[in-house]
Structure 1
Amino acid sequence: MSDDEQAPATLETVAARAGVSRATVSRVVNGSVKVSPEIRARVQAAMRELRYVPNGPARTLAARRSDTVAIVVCEPDSRVFYDPFIAEVVGGARAELARNDLYPVVLLAADAAEQERCARYLTGAHLAGVVILSPHASHPLPGLLQRNGVPTVLSGRPSDPAVELSYVDISNKQSAARAVHWLRERGRTRIGVVAGPQDMSAAQDRLAGYRSALGTDYRGSLVSIGDYTQRGGRRATAALLEREPDLDAVFATSDQMALGALRAVRDAGRRAPDDVAVVGFDDIRDISGDGGPALTTVHQPSADMGRELVRLLLTGHGRRPASTDPVIFPTRLVVRESA
């Protein structure tokens, strides 16, 4: 291949030629003073050799940023500090920010009033961008930041079709349907579901997947709504068992609610998986079964999704062109002891 036919150089190829990190090349491109003259000269020589042309939008973003990315969690304190899924996503995002020599600031904004204040702050802060976790349908923050031109990415499909921001997600409907089909293949015939809050796109899609897998066997009495907490899962499962005493399986659409479901099964004097199989969703690392069976669950790569949110923010400037697909990660069922 001739020089004219070579693919355009990237930060990664320049870094490899110069023997430095991608973050160091980025600092040189953006005129940072945190690079020694020797390293700067080496990077600039590699850029000339590879005919590297800096990306215009990326440099515009860098020029206005303060080396800080805001991670906004749209949940109350009671969930944020006790939900290991959120912690894993934030941990992945923090790792990717550190790799790019950026710094996180974590904000909590659970309701409309908090989000309106948050939007005013974020709009005037000249940040590198914003990562929004756990948005609900009624939340104004994504739309406010989009209208104000703040680079923003979302964890999960936006519920509002007017919000055209980049996002990272999984195939929630298909993943839920596969888990329920697996239960049916193993002879479970009366399968209830503990679904998440129905003002969230992921919760809606997982419930839709459960319903599609049951087909004509679906009925409303098999559905109980939780809040992604162990307490909520325990309460919702207890209500299911009271309505449907012959239930032989529970699909809980988060691991936290699945742990609550296991406790509710024990409270009812029944055993998992002998009497009632329990399947969760998330596959949170090191999650405890509280002395019960290890949890069968749908694995989603939460830390990788957090890292991808940051990559998407830095490379795509937060805005999703109509022709650009979201980043969708694969899932898999992890079979353990509870089902």
Structure 2
Amino acid sequence: MLLTSYLLAGLAILLAWPVPVALSRAQWTARSPFTAMVVWQAIALAGGLSMIGAMLFWGLEPLGNSLLGALEGGARLVLGDADVASPGTIHIFALSTAALLGIHLVLTLIRATWRITRQRARHRHILSLLSQKSTANPGTLVLDHETPIAYCLPSFAGSVTVLSRGLVQRLNEDELQAVLAHEKAHLEQRHDLLLLAFASWNDALPWLPTAKHSLAAVQELVEMLADDAALRVVTAPVLLRALLTVATGALGEPAERGPAALPTAGTGGAPTEELSSHRLRRLLRPQPPLSTMVRSLILTAALLLLALPTTMLVAPGLFS
């Protein structure tokens, strides 16, 4: 049990700092955003399991040589069995830390979900007052404003894409289809749920390097995935022109702003439309995607990474 605790602690440290820092600097992620997304999810899940598991096993160490044995010993201790040694203060502290960390992560996710749900409800109410349905594109609302704006508002009850009148007037037909395909990919692939999970992780542990790097990376990766979906409809130059027009609106045009408050895409857990240098580079100088073999190797490594702390938790006898 004690050795397993040390191994989990070592894995948690690796996944909290050097591994996410190295992955955030990797160049291959732009060539296969989906694969990179899976790796980031594996790092986050394995890191969380390792942190909680290390403290849990350390705290349970006096009660048994395995997780099931320790749980049985704990039950006997609670029932008053005098033969079971009582954990010391440091072990009780470790168990309390593990429990508090697990509860903190779950409550942060619940709070973020509740907050975002309310934000989106208010956002949809504002849109109902300031926009009208597009007759040419079902599921699209047109906002009566000159600033070029495009974003999506996810919902289980009916997701919508929001375009401003100024953007529609500036784009030609192909560019408009590029924007719609981009936003449609966000909605169909439920990128908002991915962002919600990583945003909650960052809110719960803002001091952790892996939380900060993972959120920034996932925000960029979901945009790349949406770009790839749009590239199946239009060419790269068309998409680039459309994105640059939208980015102009995201940066703001003070001269064109009216007195009315504009709904923004910042509804927490929704994809952003920031046009980063990495996205620009992959559109201007496209690189071939990773080979099937390389992607398979990376995905296998991600699955093994996730399986490692899980195996340690359920079968510590293999490692001690």
User: Per residue, is there more helix in 1 or in 2?
Assistant: 2
Of Structure 1 and Structure 2, which has the larger fraction of its residues in strand? 1
| TM bin (shorter chain) | under 0.3
Higher RCO, Cα 8 Å, sep 6+: 2
Task: Provide TM-score, normalisation by structure 1.
Answer: 0.26
